[in-house]
Amino acid sequence: MKKKAPVTKNQEFEATVVDLTYDGNGVVKYDDFPIFVTNAVPGEKIIVGVTKVTSNYGFGRVVKRLSESPDRNADIDAKVLQSGVAPLAHLTYPAQLKHKQKQVADVFNKQHVAVDVAPTIGMENPWGYRNKAQIPVREINGELTTGFYRRGSHRLQPMEDFYIQDPKIDEAIVVIRDILRKYHVAAYDEVNHKGVVRTIMVRRGYYSHQMMVVLVTRAKRLPAAEYIVNDIREALPEVVSIIQNVNQEKTNVIMGDQNKVLWGQKAIKDTLLGKTFAIGPNSFYQVNPAMTEVLYQTATEKAELKPTDVVIDAYSGIGTISLTIADHVKSVLGVEVVPEAVDDAKRNADINGTDNVRFELGKAEDKMVQWADEGLKPDVIFLDPPRKGLTQELIDAAVKMAPEKVVYISCNPATLARDVALFEAQGYRVNGDVQPIDQFPQTTHVESVTVLTK
């Protein structure tokens, strides 16, 4: 029999916030029944209004705040929290860093893996850091509008200041929006799969200040393209590349496969730890370069690399890790599943004159199994997997190669803790502490570096 929840929708009660979920909601309990409340900080006494109830938990809002936590960031605009751009912005920055450290520690405790988690390394200025924006374009009140989806919905909320993006990118989005309005270009209509412009993407080099504008269109033809290009060039002198990306699918995947260069270069360049990278419209490039440098430096230091080391870089992308560590080691072998990224990586190796790296196309787990069977014996393996973490085959292949060290860069603490437990079951141990790094301030994401030794 389904147990009945002890609260009902629209009920109000007084409670103290006892915890914070990983996605930044406060937790209150009613007879041990958890209710998740937006914009509530642990320690605060509030009157909760229940907005939704399921059999195991509920959702609520703050009707009234009876006491305020010293960890509350009172300077934040409610619109920011509604939009989902910055779900942790209601916490002071030191409180965000503590929350992320606790988040990493909690998942290891759940997996019964004993580790020390170091305090999170944060940013000096945790705002305006993103070097890439993908902003949806929709029609609101008969006008082409840019903004961001409201939290937990697909309703566009008009916005001009995105807080965590490079302010120059925010300015560019508004300029481009106004140019598209001037030429009466139709915004994408998701319901009827009509209209022209779906998304405006802008990338800006952190060091180079080169800007790329990508107009993602449903239609193959961009009306008034020539005029739009001229206006963008005139209004935004940093722009060196204007590209039309065609995505005709009825999908929420942002980019399509087809890119047309409308003007300028097909890639922009930027530097990371002194190496130069070419970044195309579809390239995966870290969105917070300042903290990426901290992340890679931390990983390199923790790995204690030697000039004789042979290194595998699984999930090598456009070669960012491979090229930043290449100077410290004998050779690096990278593997990546996206063909364009492998081409980018090879081009980036040429740009930097780095000749001790090699990049191969394939799934990391397949290549690692193949290399293990061929008897390849790396000294160090760098792993930087997507959010879903590693497969058992990859872990088995890594263990079979018996590297001295495995350096695991993770963007998801839950899969990290699970994978570390699997490595421990095969004789590897966490060496030193797990180091969280705040790559995405004001959001719920946390990166970390963990070194495993035999």
Same domain for 313 and 221, yes or no, is no
User: What are the contacts of 158-163 at 24+ separation with CB within 8 A?
Assistant: 159/79, 159/83, 159/85, 162/85, 162/130, 162/133, 162/135, 163/80, 163/85, 163/86, 163/89, 163/127, 163/128, 163/442
Inter-residue contact 241 to 261 (CB < 8 Å)? yes
Structural domain boundaries enclosing 20: 12-72
Residue ranges of the alpha helices (H) in 44-158?
78-83, 93-110
Q: What is the pLDDT of residue 150?
A: 83
Catalytic (active site) residue 140: no
| Predicted structure pTM score | 0.91
**What residue type is assigned to position 374 of the chain?**
E
Answer for the pair 23, 151: CB distance below 8 angstroms, yes or no. no
The structure tokens listed for 368 are 């690692």
The number of folded domains in the chain is: 3
Helix intervals (H) in 304-429: 320-325, 339-351, 364-373, 392-401, 413-424
- How far is residue 314's CA from residue 317's CA, in Å, rounded to a whole number? 9
Residue 74 pLDDT grade (very low, low, confident, very high; cuts 50, 70, 90): confident
Of 27, 105, 290, 411, the catalytic one is 411
* Residue-wise pLDDT tens digits, 321-348: 999 999 999 999 999 999 989 999 999 9
What does 66-79 look like in DSSP terms, one character per residue? SS--TTB-TT--HH
Is 423 part of any domain? yes
Integer angstrom CA distances of residue 413 from 53, 95, 129, 134, 341: 28, 18, 22, 25, 25
262 and 380: one domain? Answer: no
Question: What tens digit of pLDDT does each residue of 386-420 get?
Answer: 999 999 999 999 999 999 999 999 999 999 999 99
Q: Is residue 105 part of a domain?
A: no
Do 293 and 384 fall into the same domain?
Answer: yes
We report the CATH number of the domain holding residue 155 as: 2.40.50.1070
Clarify whether residues 251 and 300 are in a common domain: no
pLDDT at 80 over 90: no
User: For 143-171, how does the pLDDT look when each residue is reduced to its tens digit (9 = 90+)?
Assistant: 999 999 887 788 899 999 999 999 999 99
Q: How far apart are CA 345 and CA 93, in angstroms?
A: 35
pLDDT in tens, 236-259: 999 999 999 999 999 989 999 999
